[in-house]
Structure 1
Amino acid sequence: MTRLLLKVQDLSVAYFIHKQEIVALKDVSFEIERGEILGIIGESGSGKTTLAKAIIRSIKPPGKITKGKILYEGEDILSVDIKRFKREYLWKKISYVPQASQNSLNGVMRIIDHFYDTAISHGITDRNTIYDKAKEAVKMVSLDERVLSSYPHELSGGMKQRVLIALSLLLDPELIILDEPTSALDVATQKSILDLVMKINKELGTTIILITHDIGVANYIAKKMLVLYAGQVMEFGNTEEIMNNPLHPYTQGLINSVPSIYKDVSKLKPISEGEIPLKGCPFHTRCSYVSEICKMEEPGLYTANTRLVRCFLYDKARKNIS
């Protein structure tokens, strides 16, 4: 069995509003192997959630996938009939825990009813079987079986987040996409959720894509890191290498702006403000390394130090690096 589980190739997504095309993702490419944790980071509006929704085929009009392939175990799931995709892929192979997922629980349904609905919609009709699987799932996320008889309003934010993660495990998927799973939670609960995700990855071998705006979260949990800005990949590679030696100016800015108990707060360097330009590198209005070529042309993805970096500083053809 090949180690490669998911490969995204040149994926582009646009929203068509009042005859205008607003590009949300542009030529995004990456891959993830079985059992890995990939952290996707970037500021709000960078395209992180759009990327997740593209993978699970939930881009709704006026949004549209305009280009690219998403290969799951070698099959382009964008070419799969949508009914077959929902029946064979969604929840069974790929689960998605959305941003602000606590709000996605139906307040008038008990927790177990959410498990029943999900399983029944995928052909599992025996309620005893479903209950047993739900009990195993909540146990995996360190919740008591009694939670299944509760209503969402009876649970804390952290407990509801764990319930959604348990629900994503119900049909034993190979890949779980978690969209900002620690947002709106206190620091202690955030750490417990991240430790839980690593436990699922280690004990079940589940592949994880974790979406976050916090590069510290990605550093804590992920083996690989994908940095998005304005819908484009700025840097992609091994997390430890990126954190120790960030190559793209945007990645450098994200790391330098993160507070730490080991850093002098007065030496934090926030990223400069700037609008996304109509042409050239999308980051050039905020970049301290900007040159004229950055204002006129859009850089490609170049290989540097085993990583992919979208910056002219690493374009060997221009002899900007040795």
Structure 2
Amino acid sequence: MEKYLSEDFIEKFSERVKGSVFDHEMNRIRTKINRVLQKENLYFDEECYLVLQSENKETENKICNFFVLPTHTLYYDDDEKLHEAGIALELYSQIEEDKYKRILLNLNDEAIEKGNWLNNISFFDRDYLVYKSDLYRYLRIAIKLSTRILKENQKKVFYDDAWLEDDDALEHISAFKYDQRMLQLRKYNNELENDTNRKEDIDAINFLTAQSKYISEITMLAFPEDPSVENSEWGWEDNEYYYLVYSKTWSWIRAFFNHNEIKLKLNEKELDDYLIEAGVFESNEIRPKTKIKRADRKTPPLKQRVFMINKLRLHEFLSHKEN
């Protein structure tokens, strides 16, 4: 159903009621509505006609010959959003001295705003009159303002081609809002997770790019060959791994980042741990206090702690994250 389509959204029920309906309870409600309308110089008189008073209350004009009682706030659930969509009304028009004709209507916002529902002969006849078309704006004001008397549970929801009323409507609205909150929470958590992953990926790419540059600038020895005394910058490699002295590598990369004004969002240990989990670094120890895996690994027969870097995973990580 297209949202707020009048021919689908409006429902009507008509019956005759005795004048006693207006005794006691109805008069109490009419008095309550009139309190709401008095600032607009409007009120429903004892015949339940809507009346407009002049500012000085010396003159009065009757707007329509029926009483309007709002019964529910209307909602429309389109499976994606819960729209506040209109007002349910009871209209009372006197047909005999002690009898009234009552019509129950669900009016969407568009119908209330334009007033076209009054021209629909399938809903109305001579028993319901707005005396002049330009007076409809006062009836519209009365309808909207009188909804202030509605209680929290006076709601109806149009869902799956049917109306849910009162407690059923409240339960549906509560369930819908709960589902929306859960949806927003999941969306927030996903966004937070994505933001975290982006932050980690950016740092990891910057670090591994710098590390690759470092590898290209130092002497790579066959693992586990001893370095010569003359050469102060070295690392090792075999077919599967690079072995870089941990402290030397981080020292070079820190200087590289400072020179290129690159700032990490993660601290060094967090970045180490992320790249271990990604399979780029190999670890064989866990820090006893934090339980974080160490990237500065002992790898006999080497005497220094080293990064043990998986060549294939290094290439795959940079290729995947940069694309």
Normalised-by-shorter TM-score class: under 0.3
TM-score by length of 2: 0.22
Which one has a larger percent helix, Structure 1 or Structure 2? 2
With a CA cutoff of 8 Å and minimum separation of 6, indicate the structure with the bigger relative contact order: 1
